[in-house]
A and B are shown apart, each in its own frame.
Chain A
């Protein structure tokens, strides 16, 4: 790899300090470098700090120990270069599906008609045509998740931080969304950090998979997972199946450790 990494995470730690109760060490010494246009998946047991890491890269939480740079600049605050799909969607409940998706576009300089067209394109892309005027309280979990996905994709950030973005979807929709994400990623220059619990999904989508250890989170291993995504038979190919297996074992070990350590 030639140039400097687009995202450089260097020995980052994070401690949560709840107003009551004792501090929680969520991340300990995380280092990871992500190149421009790279697709990296994060795997790890529940509570290991995957969301926390995304919040730090997003600039939502302060980096108190270590450093995170994006394009060489230290991260200080959220910015429109980094779009995030939150694990719990974070849709504006008082806005309709359409207005949620328009929100990010309103802060860009483009004619109104173009904004609406853009929004409609992504509504159709995630299969929510007909629900444009529904409020989030009227949607199923999977529909909310697709709205959140459309909102972030429509906004078109160069870095996508995705926190289990397909977690609430059925297998069928999930496959469709995976394919859409891949095609967007192949068409437009985007760097993706993608949190998932689905090992097969990670291997299929990502160039590299980082496996995190149980809390306090560290990067345990990074595995190369470059496959030809266009190959229809990829899921059954020997190389793919072996990679999934290898990663499964790594993740399972950590899940067991997390289980034992749980209070």
Chain B
């Protein structure tokens, strides 16, 4: 408990510095409104229900895109590791697609699917699928030969063997890839909503900024970063739980 307080001490210092800078008008108050006023607008945004509605819309898009990316990306990665034809077919596509800045696809997905949820989900799905596919591929290839043999000799058919041996062998690497995808989903979510959307947290940031409501804009920015932090923390806990078998008891 004590150490947690110490850990986040720099954040408290930053908050105090922020408040002081703004109060002393070291920078213009429109560029940096005092933190206390940002908090007040945050409460307002919560009270009007604006924050909840837009957060809901954003989380739905990020969640749906990420879930699709995890399921399909894992299947493709394991497929590539275990069937040569799939590898031959897909690996050039993955290689080409990997370095492409996924935000460049924002206008494309809008042309395809319009301003609503569809285009955001597609964008997040495409962007997040790449790290998931690559990590599933690398993880699946590292599965130990004798473990595969062991399962086969105890009556597992090929499909079972993939599920019982290859997937769990790939899990440590795969879970790391999904963590990258999780961070990427937030980036793609907010940037696509900033550019074209009628709701969502990114939209709200853009809208409030354009209207000059900087306190409220900061409040939404802080909400997004808190959500991102909470998602990563929650994910790490889940990951540690799932990989408990690797721990050596000291």
* Residues of A participating in the B interface, judged by any CB pair closer than 8 Å: 55, 58-60, 77-80, 82-84, 86, 88, 90, 92-95, 103-104, 107-108, 135-138, 151, 155
Contact = CB atoms under 8 A, between A and B. Distances in A.
Nearest to A95: B245
Interface stretch (B89-97, B150-158, B221-229): B150-158
Looking at B144, B156, B245, which has the most chain A CB atoms within 10 Å of its CB? B245
Contacts of B149: 55, 58, 60, 78, 84, 86, 90
B168 interface: yes
A135 B150 CA distance: 17
Task: Give the dominant DSSP class at A's interface.
Answer: loop
21 contacts: A60-B152, A78-B153, A80-B154, A83-B153, A84-B153, A86-B149, A88-B146, A90-B144, A90-B146, A92-B164, A92-B165, A93-B246, A103-B154, A103-B164, A107-B155, A135-B247, A137-B245, A137-B248, A138-B248, A151-B154, A155-B154
B40 interface: no
B147 A90 contact: yes
B162 interface: no
Nearest to B155: A107
Contacts of B247: 135, 137
Nearest to A93: B245
Contacts of B144: 90
B151 to A, nearest CB: 7
B153 A94 contact: no
Contacts of A90: 144, 146-147, 149-150
B147 A94 contact: no
B245 A104 contact: no
Contact-residue bracket for chain B: 20 to 34
Contacts of A83: 153-154
A151 B247 CA distance: 22
Contacts of B187: none
Nearest to B246: A137
Nearest to A55: B149
A258 B153 CA distance: 32
Looking at B153, B168, B171, which has the most chain A CB atoms within 10 Å of its CB? B153
Contacts of A55: 149
Given A84-B150, A104-B154, A107-B156, 16 more contacts: A58-B149, A60-B149, A60-B152, A80-B154, A80-B155, A84-B149, A86-B150, A88-B146, A92-B150, A94-B168, A107-B154, A107-B155, A108-B155, A135-B244, A137-B246, A137-B248
Interface of B: 144, 146-147, 149-156, 164-165, 168, 171, 244-249
Task: For the complex of A and B, list the 5 residue pairs with the smallest distance between their C-beta atoms, beginning with the closest.
Answer: A104-B154, A90-B146, A107-B155, A78-B152, A78-B153
Contacts of A88: 146
A103 B151 contact: yes
Contacts of A107: 154-156
A198 B151 CA distance: 29
A58 B165 contact: no
Looking at A78, A86, A137, which has the most chain B CB atoms within 10 Å of its CB? A78
A93 B244 CA distance: 10
B152 A77 contact: yes
A61 to B, nearest CB: 9
A169 B150 CA distance: 21
Nearest to B244: A135
A82 B149 CA distance: 12
A151 B155 CA distance: 13
A211 B156 CA distance: 34
A80 B245 contact: no
A78 B147 CA distance: 13
Contacts of A135: 244-245, 247
Nearest to A60: B149
Nearest to A135: B245
Nearest to B242: A94
A92 B147 contact: yes
B171 A94 contact: yes
A239 B182 CA distance: 71
A177 to B, nearest CB: 20
Contacts of B168: 92, 94
B139 to A, nearest CB: 13
